[in-house]
Amino acid sequence: MKSYSTSKRGERATICFKGLNLTGGLMALSALKSGLKVAVVLEEPLCWDYEPEIVAFYPIQFRNVLLAKKKTHFFERISSLFPALVYPQRILTVSRETKVHSKTINLIDSVLRKERDISSLPIAFEKYTDFQILNVPFGKGILVQELRFDRYKAIIDLLMMCRKAGALILSDLSAAKEQNYSFIKCLPYHQDLNVLRIDNFRLGFKNNIRIINPSFEIISQFLDGHTNFHFRLNKNVDVAVFVSQVFTALKSIGVEEPDRFKNDILGIYENLQKGNEKSDIPMICDSDIWDLEKSCLKSDRLLFKLIGEKVKFRSTLKSLKSNKFDGYNFRMMQAGCDEKFDLAKQTGIEYIKFCYYFYRYNSVIDEFIVKAYEKVNQDRTNPERIWKEIEQDFILRTEAEIV
């Protein structure tokens, strides 16, 4: 096995992350907590895009319930670093191969400790007009409370935590090369490579849908006039079988002539298969939340190979207090949002838009409200523009502070 170690005997290792993704941010924070010296080089602008991803853990079969529980507990600990960036969303879950039974759902909910207000709801599609299109292919489905996660803001929050913990943040790689760093590159997470975008299409019902196939899963997400279909591979499958089953799945939810997307689907299949490829170059590849723990542990081993010292990611993980995804925590967060909106509503901002600012900028929402009132007192004609200006000022100030 090839070794990358460049640390001299007797010296504490110093790691330089070139760029930062979610896995890399967690590794950098763990390294700092382990007493190692860390630098982060940001040669590209920070990404502030608001593209929350759907995180689905619910097991439609009882045999997978312990795995789902393990995945949930891991993400509960990680999300304690940025609790306001994870929030609930009801997802319609269906499968051709697995029949829905109320007793099984109740048993799964019991193991996952889902309270009544976040419990899973079985639905017989024949009883609801909006769901008639799903009756023949699926018969029944489950309305499940899953999660949405603001990845890009979480990466920025992790960067701020690393800076506070003593990491050196640089904008130029040449400055880092002058010092005795071991370098590792963080590749950005291109979730769009696993996404089929269909313009001017929307499901005939308001919920996003998760289609579970033994070999893969598809999760829909409606965004600004188009629908994205996110793919994840459950096990290896022949390309012809994959394409055929994707066509069938898309047809079942109302997508006309899905074969017109054949080249896109082939591209998605190819990219999903790349997840199994190995590289001799020291780099941290990011992953979706389902595989985040595996990605972190793989990176932990890679960093040990690189610097000859343990980053102790598991120790960092154990030190984090779990951010429980239960009804109580979500209710308390929502109550906090409503309370702050009562303070902010006289600025003219709409509730839905305020929720965006509350969850994304939770730690500074009071500052946003105060500045909004200051600006509104001067000009009441466009409250939406005022809040956007406050957000932009915060972004510019944050970027200036980081580097």
- pLDDT per residue over 194-211, tens digit each? 999 999 999 989 899 999
N-to-C CA span, the chain: 37
pLDDT of 13 higher than 70: no
Question: pLDDT-derived band of residue 99, with 50, 70 and 90 as boundaries?
Answer: confident
Tokens 């939810």, residue located: 253
Which are the contacts of 108, defined by CB distance < 8 A and separation ≥ 6? Answer: 58, 59, 62, 65, 120
State how beta strands 53-55 and 140-149 pair: antiparallel
Per residue in 271-311, pLDDT tens? 888 754 556 678 998 999 999 999 999 999 999 999 988 89
Judge contact between 152 and 59, C-beta under 8 A: no
Evaluate if residue 106 carries a pLDDT over 70. Answer: yes
| pLDDT at residue number 316 | 94
Instruction: Determine the pLDDT at residue 223.
Output: 85
Rounded Cα distance between 245 and 268, Å, is 14
pLDDT at 2: 41
User: For the CA atoms of 58, 60, 63, 69, what is the dihedral angle to 10 degrees?
Assistant: 10
Instruction: Please give the average per-residue pLDDT across 304-324, as a whole number.
Output: 92
Helix (H) or strand (E) holding 184: strand 182-187
Please report, for the chain, the start and end positions of each structural domain, with discontinuous segments joined by +. Answer: 14-48+152-187+286-319, 53-148+191-274, 327-402
pLDDT value at residue 50? 92
Whole-number CA gyration radius for the chain: 23
Average pLDDT over residues 122-131: 93
Q: Residue 12 is encoded by which pair of tokens?
A: 């504490």
How does residue 117 score in pLDDT terms, banded at 50, 70 and 90?
Answer: confident
Q: Tell which wins on pLDDT, 380 or 395.
A: 395
Q: What is the pLDDT of residue 212?
A: 95
| pLDDT band (50, 70, 90) for residue 178 | low
* 155 pLDDT higher than 70: yes
pTM: 0.91
Checking if the pLDDT of 175 tops 90, the result is: no
Give the mean pLDDT of 88-99.
Answer: 93
Tokens coding 229: 């279909």
CATH fold for the domain made of 53-148+191-274: D-Amino Acid Oxidase; Chain A, domain 2 (3.30.9)
Stretch among 7-21, 231-245, 275-289, 329-343 having the lowest mean pLDDT:
7-21
What would the pLDDT profile of 23-45 be if each residue is shown by its tens digit? Answer: 999 999 999 999 999 999 998 88
Structure confidence at residue 57 (pLDDT)? 95
| pLDDT score at 7 | 41
Alpha-carbon torsion (154, 159, 161, 162), positive or negative:
positive
Residue 3 has pLDDT above 70, yes or no: no
pLDDT over 90 at 389, yes or no: yes
pLDDT at 5: 40
Which residue intervals of 170-279 are DSSP H helices? 173-177, 239-252, 262-274
- Range of weakest confidence among 11-25, 47-61, 96-110: 11-25
Pick the CATH number of 14-48+152-187+286-319 from 3.90.600.10, 3.30.70.580, 3.40.50.720, 3.40.50.740: 3.40.50.720
For helices 383-402 and 365-376, what crossing angle results, to 10°?
130
Q: Residue 64 — very low, low, confident or very high, per pLDDT cuts 50/70/90?
A: very high
CA distance 40 to 174: 12
Give the mean pLDDT of 120-128. Answer: 94
pLDDT of residue 291: 93
Q: Is the pLDDT of residue 58 over 80?
A: yes
Cβ neighbours of residue 379 closer than 8 Å, sequence gap 6 or more: 386
Least confident of 68-82, 162-176, 310-324: 162-176
- What is the DSSP pairing of strand 37-41 with strand 168-170? parallel
Average confidence score pLDDT of the chain: 91
